Amino acid sequence: MRKSVIISSLLIIIGIVLIGFGNLPDTPSPQLAFPIQEPDSIERLAAYHTPDWGEPGVYHNGIDLVISENVTVVSPCAGTVSNLDEHVNPYAGNILFSIMITIDHVWAVKLVLEPGFKDSANNSAQTEAIVVSAGDTVATGDKVATLLYSENYAHLHYMLLYRGTDVSAYDFSSPAAKSTFEEIATRSNSTIQYDYDMPTLTSTLMWKVSTGVGGSLIAVGIIILLVRRRN
């Protein structure tokens, strides 16, 4: 008797948790602003999902905005700076400066500053040119850094993540930002993105699965309790 009560109680609790998970608020797709304040200082683009990027079988997971002088990098969205990171580019040996901005529990933007420096003095200057810290709240258009220029393919590597998987930031940009991308691509004869498989935006599916399974578990738990009570 006691064992069946415990099992039915666990089923009911798990069911309630699943229904609650399925009812997490749906999040609208972002409408990203353009991430550089001086688009005229962008000389060309390197496309999202370019094949064989760095090595065979690897696809480019962001859009590179290649600069011709120092530029102001701004947040393309409202959110929270969730992480700052510096690490060595395994392909070129230069330092990468990453700024992660979390929009919500589904979406995040990653801005990777790649000035192309290999010396400590210039890399220290790039570190100092980042004006946000982890935990900061940012609004769309807020300055997050100055990206310093060098002749070594200085660029902003611009990424959008959906549930941790990269998608094209262009596809989720505002009309004004898309127009800026297109103007740069036209004048520089460069490509914004190549075809890729867009992941399914699963909030509705998750709601159906979670609420369905959760409701079933609750029903089974209640039936077990009723049957034991009759016996």
Residue 126 sits in a domain whose CATH number is: 2.70.70.10
8 and 65 in a single domain? The answer is: no
Q: Which residues pair with 44 in a beta bridge?
A: 66
163 and 219 in a single domain? The answer is: no
Interatomic CA distance for residues 57 and 59, integer angstroms: 7
Interatomic CA distance for residues 165 and 202, integer angstroms: 13
Interatomic CA distance for residues 105 and 102, integer angstroms: 8
> What pLDDT does residue 22 have?
47
The total number of structural domains in the chain stands at 2
Who wins on pLDDT, 86 or 11? 86
What mean pLDDT value characterizes the chain? 86
Place of tokens 């490509």: 191
Tokens of 11: 């089923």
163 and 215 in a single domain? The answer is: no
**Residues 161-198 pLDDT 10s:** 999 999 999 999 999 999 999 999 999 999 999 999 98
Q: Could you tell me if residue 32 is inside a domain? A: no
**Residues 115-150 pLDDT 10s:** 999 999 999 999 999 999 999 999 999 999 999 999
The answer to whether 11 touches 221, Cβ cutoff 8 Å, is yes
221 and 180 in a single domain? The answer is: no
pTM, two decimal places: 0.79
Q: Could you tell me if residue 158 is inside a domain? A: yes
Residue 217 pLDDT > 90: no
